[in-house]
A = this chain, B = another copy of it.
């Protein structure tokens, strides 16, 4: 069993906390504070405007994109950092639809993250060409792929259930009917061995604040398969995606490669934190990490199912069919999660009844899993979730 104690030591984890919500926001890398301070004081503070060149800020989105690319099997020059995941999904989908002008269907599933669906809805409205967003159950995707489909837009790992799609198989099936694929890697990048090139994905996008641990509101990334890049005329063509942004010419001309997917001025402080977060991934063997995630998720499932018969597992049992996450269904799940947080075990809740536990071996070990399962067992056995302080729902602000 590979030991990830060396990477765990690279994170600030509060004393007494078992953190099973890295699928929502990864913890703070110890090096992040120093890295961000350097950018604040020595770069912004001292170099001022000249830091865009002298500190290399202008090149960070591409350089960080290369580093993320290595974690998702993307060839050099095919990943760019910037904006939010929703915006990157929009750009990818717009490009895909433009490449399939005769087709009107965007196929997605009910396990996709809602923002992806909203952005698709928004794009359909703006295009005004009668496109249709067709949403099927996760198990019906393969059968729903036909020659009306322009683009298949899916999250590889379901944010609620942790169910994992077979990216390569669905992409092959999409290609067989002439459709393009856009994969949302929000719950995949840094959680699983992703290989967008081997899977022949056409487009992909992801965020960096979950399993990549780059901090709240860290920028997203976009992947465009190199063979598509020359034809992509980006939606949202901002000045930093221009061929020669500093010519300030009135007409847009796309940058030669993946640079064209840039829009505006990138968030430098967030990128500094992202850089520190990516340092941790140097030398991490993704296959070993995935094997460890498989062990830890299996252990958590076993322990919880043994002691909490009221909870129903919604995550697939077959390891290849799940992400680095385990979810259980329980009507009073909200209160159970509050009771767990009260005991220092942080998971989260997704309406109406799903309790999610993200299991990131980079900083979570067997002792954490046992402690979390024991706390959950105690809460269930003693119906501690029934206390008013856990049932009261805080308004989401």
Q: Which residues does A use to contact B, with CB under 8 Å?
A: 12, 14, 17, 19, 21, 24-25, 27-28, 32-33, 36-37, 40-41, 44-46, 48-53, 56-59, 83-87, 90, 94, 110, 113-115, 117-119, 121-123, 125-129, 135, 160, 207, 209, 215-220, 233-240, 242, 245-252, 263-271, 273, 341, 346, 348, 350-351, 394, 396-397
Smallest beta-carbon distance A371→chain B, Å: 16
CB pair B341–A17 under 8 Å, yes or no, is no
Give the 5 A-B residue pairs with the shortest CB-CB distance, closest first.
Answer: A84-B264, A115-B239, A216-B268, A217-B267, A86-B238
Smallest beta-carbon distance A170→chain B, Å: 20
Instruction: Please indicate the chain B residues that have their CB under 8 angstroms from the CB of A245 in the complex.
Output: 396
| Highest count of chain B CB atoms <10 Å: which of A17, A215, A264, A269 | A269
Given A45-B14, A119-B238, CB of A396 within 8 Å of CB of B246: yes
Smallest beta-carbon distance A44→chain B, Å: 5
User: Among B44, B49, B263, B351, which residue has its beta carbon within 8 angstroms of that of A246?
Assistant: B351
Q: How far is the CA of A196 from the CA of B267 in the complex (A)?
A: 27
A123 nearest in chain B by CB position: B126
Smallest beta-carbon distance A185→chain B, Å: 15
CB pair B21–A45 under 8 Å, yes or no, is no
CB pair A265–B33 under 8 Å, yes or no, is no
Instruction: Please indicate the chain B residues that have their CB under 8 angstroms from the CB of A250 in the complex.
Output: 110, 114, 117, 135
| Highest count of chain B CB atoms <10 Å: which of A33, A49, A219 | A49
Smallest beta-carbon distance A250→chain B, Å: 6
Instruction: Please indicate the chain B residues that have their CB under 8 angstroms from the CB of A123 in the complex.
Output: 126
Instruction: Please indicate the chain B residues that have their CB under 8 angstroms from the CB of A48 in the complex.
Output: 14, 17, 19, 21, 25, 27, 346
Instruction: Please indicate the chain B residues that have their CB under 8 angstroms from the CB of A32 in the complex.
Output: 40
Smallest beta-carbon distance A266→chain B, Å: 5
Instruction: Please indicate the chain B residues that have their CB under 8 angstroms from the CB of A263 in the complex.
Output: 84, 86-87
Smallest beta-carbon distance A346→chain B, Å: 6
CB pair B128–A216 under 8 Å, yes or no, is no
User: Among B53, B121, B350, which residue has its beta carbon within 8 angstroms of that of A251?
Assistant: B121
Q: How far is the CA of A209 from the CA of B52 in the complex (A)?
A: 13
Q: How far is the CA of A59 from the CA of B209 in the complex (A)?
A: 18
CB pair B126–A87 under 8 Å, yes or no, is no
A-B contact pairs, 6 of them (CB 8 A): A33-B40, A53-B396, A84-B265, A86-B238, A119-B238, A121-B251
Smallest beta-carbon distance A26→chain B, Å: 9
CB pair A267–B270 under 8 Å, yes or no, is yes
CB pair A236–B86 under 8 Å, yes or no, is yes
A11 nearest in chain B by CB position: B45
CB pair A56–B216 under 8 Å, yes or no, is no
CB pair A127–B128 under 8 Å, yes or no, is yes
CB pair A53–B252 under 8 Å, yes or no, is no
Smallest beta-carbon distance A29→chain B, Å: 10
Smallest beta-carbon distance A73→chain B, Å: 24
Given A21-B49, A33-B40, A397-B59, CB of A90 within 8 Å of CB of B236: yes
CB pair B396–A215 under 8 Å, yes or no, is no
CB pair A114–B239 under 8 Å, yes or no, is yes
CB pair A37–B45 under 8 Å, yes or no, is no
CB pair A85–B264 under 8 Å, yes or no, is yes
